[in-house]
């Protein structure tokens, strides 16, 4: 480590512990380091000093639910899987995403067994964002809250955890499983996934609050796209939404929830309710579909013909929405505008919170000493100027980093 190049980023405001502070950022060997130890213990200076010209430095964005983008659908890849995932991974750098969980929606068994073994966890770099593991959204969901999931492939836990293993084929590359906690056999499945350190998210569900609380005691710690594909809030039984204020869950446990801040899927008032009710658990997600990142106009994606009009995706010839296409940087800016929250909170909702939900905040989602040097240069309006992974500039809006 002492022979590695030391980078010193100056003239910047860095996001640390919920505050934007005037402080230099020091990086060595792809890791954020404590400059006092370098100066006093090693008595050496930086090899490269970078003037950031007053910009904000934030941890890189982490998207824990993204179904595809740039014309590629992770649930509909028939060939060249690795190449297509690489394309999405590389393209996300433009929007400040340095880590993500490719998401597979309810699909035939052969899709899981073909795709899951080939979308492997890997470190990011110039070739693309870090893959933290797959988010498997289904097929163990409630058919009455299927959303856009194909009903013919929805399953129950007929043989408990064994059914899950037979369906997915392998859990090696899986990071998150979304399931409906009211399904018979879900208690043991949640416990076993938790024992394997795979995060369980409850969603696409008709569960009442008691079902949700039981799932949390069994190990679940996430809610999939809050308000979408679940029972609406009711004053006598608030359903899964009630987990945000429940006092019948472990006191030391934070319930995290993804929320789509694209101005379409979640009403601004609903965003404000979630933010004011349980800010510590709020995670911004794109839930992006394959049309994300495509230009305005008509596109054929798989068997679906879509049209992007004014930044919104519709089925061609209709006004029927066909999924979210907002990028993560757009979600951050819109969330801040809608809720009136601070810049710091909007950024942490896309960085620290998802990292904490996945149990990786020691190395991702912060600019703390010892963490991975995955970060962004942003202007005061939170537009991405450049993206860095392991201390290497992997995208910039200018001609050079």
Residues with a known catalytic role: 287
CA–centroid distance for 16 within its chain: 20
Task: Please check if 135 is assigned to a binding site.
Answer: no
CA 249 to CA 187: how far, in whole Å?
15
Task: Please check if 212 is assigned to a binding site.
Answer: no
DSSP SS3 for 90: helix
Task: Please check if 149 is assigned to a binding site.
Answer: no
For residue 101, the 8-state DSSP code is: E
Residue 122, judged by CB atoms within 10 A of its CB (0-12, 13-18, 19+), counts as: middle
Task: Please check if 321 is assigned to a binding site.
Answer: yes
> Is beta strand 56-59 parallel, antiparallel or unpaired with respect to 13-16?
parallel
Q: Is 15 within 8 Å of 59 (Cβ atoms)? A: yes
Q: Tell me the C-alpha to C-alpha distance, in Å, between residue 217 and each of 227, 232, 238, 269, 391.
A: 21, 22, 18, 30, 39
Q: Which residue has the tokens 């639910």?
A: 65
Task: Please check if 228 is assigned to a binding site.
Answer: yes
Peptide bond into 139 cis (omega under 30): yes
Task: Please check if 137 is assigned to a binding site.
Answer: yes
Task: Please check if 225 is assigned to a binding site.
Answer: yes
CA 262 to CA 284: how far, in whole Å?
10
CA 101 to CA 112: how far, in whole Å?
15
CA-angle at 10, arms to 361 and 348, nearest 5°: 30
Task: Please check if 229 is assigned to a binding site.
Answer: yes
CA 27 to CA 308: how far, in whole Å?
41
Task: Please check if 204 is assigned to a binding site.
Answer: yes
Task: Please check if 17 is assigned to a binding site.
Answer: no
DSSP string, 298-318: EEEETTEEEEEETTEEEETTS
What are residue 312's phi and psi, to 5 degrees?
Answer: -130, 140
DSSP string, 118-146: TS--B--BTTB-EE--EEEE-SSS-GGG-
Task: Please check if 240 is assigned to a binding site.
Answer: no
Closest Cα to residue 374, out of 154, 116, 134, 62? 62
With a CB cutoff of 8 Å and minimum separation 6, the contacts of 374 are 59, 60, 98, 99, 124, 130, 364, 388, 389, 390
Q: What residues form the annotated binding site for substrate?
A: 148, 228-229, 236, 265, 321-323
Q: What residues form the annotated binding site for Zn(2+)?
A: 137, 204, 225
């Amino acid at each position: 480590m002492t022979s590695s190049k030391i980078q010193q980023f100056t003239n910047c405001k860095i996001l640390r512990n919920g505050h934007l502070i005037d402080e230099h950022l020091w990086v060595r060997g792809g890791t954020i380091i404590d400059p006092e130890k370098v100066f006093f213990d090693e008595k050496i200076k930086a090899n490269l000093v970078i003037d950031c010209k007053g910009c904000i430095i934030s941890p890189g964005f982490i998207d824990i639910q993204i179904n595809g983008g740039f014309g590629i659908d992770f649930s509909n890849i028939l060939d060249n899987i690795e190449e297509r995932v690489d394309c999405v991974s590389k393209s996300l750098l433009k929007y400040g995403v340095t880590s993500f969980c490719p998401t597979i929606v309810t699909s035939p068994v052969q899709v899981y067994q073909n795709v899951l073994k080939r979308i492997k966890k890997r470190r990011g770099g110039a070739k693309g964002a870090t893959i933290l593991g797959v988010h498997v959204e289904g097929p163990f969901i409630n058919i009455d809250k299927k959303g856009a999931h194909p009903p013919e492939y929805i399953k129950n836990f007929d043989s408990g955890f064994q059914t899950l293993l037979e369906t997915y084929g392998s859990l090696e590359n899986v990071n998150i499983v979304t399931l409906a906690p009211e399904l018979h056999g879900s208690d043991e499945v949640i416990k076993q996934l938790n024992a394997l350190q795979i995060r369980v998210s409850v969603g696409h569900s008709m569960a009442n609050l008691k079902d949700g609380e039981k799932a949390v005691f069994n190990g679940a710690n996430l809610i999939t796209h809050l308000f979408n594909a679940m029972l609406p809030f009711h004053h006598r039984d608030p359903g899964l939404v009630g987990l945000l204020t429940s006092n019948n869950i472990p006191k030391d446990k934070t319930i995290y929830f993804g929320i789509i801040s694209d101005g379409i899927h979640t009403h601004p008032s609903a965003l404000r309710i979630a933010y004011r009710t349980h800010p510590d658990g709020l995670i911004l997600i794109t839930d992006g579909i394959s049309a994300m990142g495509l230009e305005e106009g008509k596109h054929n994606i798989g068997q679906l013909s879509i049209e992007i009009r004014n930044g919104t995706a519709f089925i061609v010839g209709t006004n029927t929405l066909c999924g979210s296409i907002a990028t993560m940087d757009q979600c951050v800016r819109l969330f801040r505008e809608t809720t009136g929250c601070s810049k710091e909170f909007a950024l942490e909702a896309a960085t620290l919170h998802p990292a904490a939900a996945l149990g990786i905040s020691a190395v991702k989602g912060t600019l703390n000493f010892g963490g991975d040097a995955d970060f962004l240069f942003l202007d005061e309006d939170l537009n991405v100027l450049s993206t860095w992974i392991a201390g290497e500039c992997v995208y910039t809006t200018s001609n050079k980093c």
